[in-house]
Amino acid sequence: MDELDTEIIRLLQTDARQSNRELARRLGVAPSTCLERVRALTRRGVIRGYHADIDHASLNRGVQAMVSVQVRPLNRTVIDTFKDSVARLPEVVSVFVLAGGDDFLLHVALQDLDHLHAFLLDRLSKRREIAGFRTSVIFQRVHNTVLSRLPEPLPPA
């Protein structure tokens, strides 16, 4: 990725709805150049898609939590099956597979604390492969919506 690609990524993260013409104008390049660069970034998998950032509370999901989960036995079949099944639950926003003390981190969003409690008791605690879980309620979230490429590490001296 060169400087133009990096700037395209930054501008699209700021506003993915801007037209190719507007993006090209802001970059100081021809619209055809801009379009080809965006298409190349998409083909390479750098740009994976565009989405709307939706307020969870407006979807009646005012309570969010992170649930750390340990599963047993710890093998590929259990991990893949659990990951795929919880990802389909409507309460689950994201599933992270981890290394360390916890095997999974689930980001869930629900109506209220009663629904969170019911989710934990009815959806999670009844699963045989779950050895334990801990829940942390989210009070606030700060999200960096514009990521940039980090510099390459310096070679060893």
CATH number at residue 130: 3.30.70.920
112 with 134, same domain: the answer is yes
**Domain membership of residue 123 as a residue range:** 56-138
Would you state the pLDDT for residue 1?
86
Alpha carbon distance 112, 82 (integer Å): 25
- CA end-to-end span of the chain: 26
Q: What is the pTM of this model?
A: 0.84
**Number of neighbouring beta carbons within 10 Å of residue 63:** 17
In a domain, 151, yes or no: no
103 with 128, same domain: the answer is yes
In a domain, 93, yes or no: yes
**Averaged in consecutive runs of 10 residues, what is the pLDDT profile of the chain (157 residues)?**
94 94 97 97 95 91 97 96 97 97 97 98 94 97 86 85
83 with 114, same domain: the answer is yes
Name the residue among 71, 103, 78, 106 with its Cα closest to residue 92: 106
Would you state the pLDDT for residue 5?
95
Would you state the pLDDT for residue 145?
85
In a domain, 143, yes or no: no
In a domain, 152, yes or no: no
Chain mean position to CA 104: 14
Q: Domains in the chain: how many in total?
A: 2
Alpha carbon distance 31, 46 (integer Å): 20
Contacts of 75 (CB under 8 A, 6+ apart): none
Helices (H) and strands (E) in the chain, counts: 5, 4
Measuring CA to CA, how many Å separate 140 from each of 34, 64, 65? Answer: 37, 9, 10
Would you state the pLDDT for residue 143?
86
10 with 66, same domain: the answer is no
Structure tokens at 36: 């080809």
